[in-house]
Amino acid sequence: MGTVFKLFAVSPPGLEEITLEELKRLGITGKLTKGGVEFKGELIDIYRCNLWLRTANRILVRVARFKATTFRELVERISRYPWEIYINEKTPIKIRVTSRRSKLYHTKAIAERIMEGISKRVKFTPVSAQTEEEGESLIVRVEKDFFTVSVNSSGTMLYKRGYRKDVGEAPLRETFAAAMLLIAGYNGEKPLIDPFCGSGTIPIEAALICTNTPPGMYRGFAFESWRIHSPSLWEEAKKEAKSKMKGCSAPIYGFDLNSKVLKSAAENASRAKMNSFITFKRASFPSLKMEEAYIVTNPPYGIRIPIKDTENLYRKLGDWVRQNFKRAKVVLLSPLPRYVKATKLPLKRITSFSHGGIRVGVYVGDVE
């Protein structure tokens, strides 16, 4: 048995339980906490989680936990941990610090002392990261003088799968789109329709689920530069994933009125290598007449538009679902319950999350 790491999957608040379920499917038992799931695993588990988790934003390795009330103590304690495992001369380091109810609270000074403690241990001065793309490499949380220092194995946040370059006006984060599909119980066996698809995030995430493609298949990760990284084990994880990938039998549709965003959607789908499984079309509530389907969508939020107009749009959505599908599982996002009420569909709010600074509810229901 290899080294066992203390790990933490960071989820967007509101989606922790879905991440827990995803981990279960990978054979991992985790403990639910606010903001994510704690679990233990070996190097292969770090690889699998980064590759497969659709709703987590980062996979952290909990490296250090100690108490410190002075900067001198902080430098000394930090220098006791094996940072050389994760950090080399070439890895740019970016430290994010949050401090609450602690003697040491100046986050910039804490970050500087942590860098100093690490340099003392590894016997070189790590380079500081300059760009957002380099990701946050160390996440430091100080709570009542207790420091928890974690290494971010993912690098750039996991919602950045690498396929989205062009974005619509209010693009949905990939992790949220995946969460909505997992909440619906979508597994690719029945048609999936997003009548307000914008830049195509929901249909693309659906195609990734339908084809059993890991969302991290075509991007890089911070762990690839660790000293303990095993390229052969990583190749094995990817090979195992490839062997599980399959085609998609039920259709996936994305409709929108805006031809510019539809063009982006098609380009994004090509980059994700999912274009052959999705039909994007310029249309508003087209006639489809299906026995059964999943309707998963992120309708316009109605900001800067009269409430009445948005209510009308939701009313039309409700009519369209009732007229076109014998049975449908509906999952939609909405910032206002009155919009959802306007659909007259039997929808229940099951969770909520903050998206682009707006709190949106996730509404789910079966229409029969």
Shortest spacing between CB 324 and ligand SAM, in angstroms = 14
Candidates 41, 126, 155, 168: give the one binding ligand SAM (CB under 6 A).
Answer: 168
Establish if 334 lies at the interface with ligand SAM (CB under 6 A): no
Establish if 55 lies at the interface with ligand SAM (CB under 6 A): no
Using the 8-state DSSP alphabet, how is residue 4 labeled? Answer: P
The span of 170-178, 273-281, 335-343, 358-366 binding ligand SAM (CB under 6 A) equals 170-178
Candidates 158, 261, 362, 367: give the one binding ligand SAM (CB under 6 A).
Answer: 261
Shortest spacing between CB 315 and ligand SAM, in angstroms = 12
- 300-305 LR contacts (CB < 8 Å, sep 24+): 300/170, 300/196, 301/170, 301/334, 301/335, 301/358, 301/360, 302/335, 302/336, 302/339, 303/335, 303/358
Shortest spacing between CB 261 and ligand SAM, in angstroms = 5
CB-hemisphere CA count at 13 Å for 246? 10
Of 243 and 259, which has the nearer Cβ to ligand SAM?
259
Candidates 156, 298, 334, 343: give the one binding ligand SAM (CB under 6 A).
Answer: 298
Using the 8-state DSSP alphabet, how is residue 94 labeled? Answer: -
Establish if 30 lies at the interface with ligand SAM (CB under 6 A): no
Establish if 198 lies at the interface with ligand SAM (CB under 6 A): yes
Determine the residue with CB nearest ligand SAM: 198
Of 95 and 202, which has the nearer Cβ to ligand SAM?
202
- The site for ligand SAM, by CB under 6 A, has a size of 19
Which amino acid type is present at position 150?
A: S
Establish if 300 lies at the interface with ligand SAM (CB under 6 A): yes
- In whole angstroms, give the CA distance from residue 269 to residue 215: 13
Establish if 171 lies at the interface with ligand SAM (CB under 6 A): yes
- In whole angstroms, give the CA distance from residue 53 to residue 100: 30
Establish if 256 lies at the interface with ligand SAM (CB under 6 A): yes
Establish if 170 lies at the interface with ligand SAM (CB under 6 A): yes
- 233-241 LR contacts (CB < 8 Å, sep 24+): 233/43, 233/44, 233/47, 234/47, 236/44, 237/44, 237/47, 237/48, 237/51, 238/51, 241/51, 241/52, 241/214, 241/217
- Residue pair 109/148 in contact by the 8 Å Cβ criterion: no
Shortest spacing between CB 202 and ligand SAM, in angstroms = 6
Shortest spacing between CB 366 and ligand SAM, in angstroms = 22
- Residue pair 60/41 in contact by the 8 Å Cβ criterion: no
DSSP string, 124-190: S-PPBP-SGGG---EEEEEETTEEEEEEESS-S-TT--S---S--SSPPPHHHHHHHHHHHT--SSS
The span of 72-80, 105-113, 182-190, 191-199 binding ligand SAM (CB under 6 A) equals 191-199
Residues 263-282 that bind ligand SAM (CB under 6 A): none
Establish if 257 lies at the interface with ligand SAM (CB under 6 A): yes
Shortest spacing between CB 149 and ligand SAM, in angstroms = 35
Contacts of 80 (CB under 8 A, 6+ apart): 121
Residues that bind ligand SAM (CB under 6 A): 168, 170-172, 196-199, 201-202, 255-258, 261, 284, 298, 300, 313
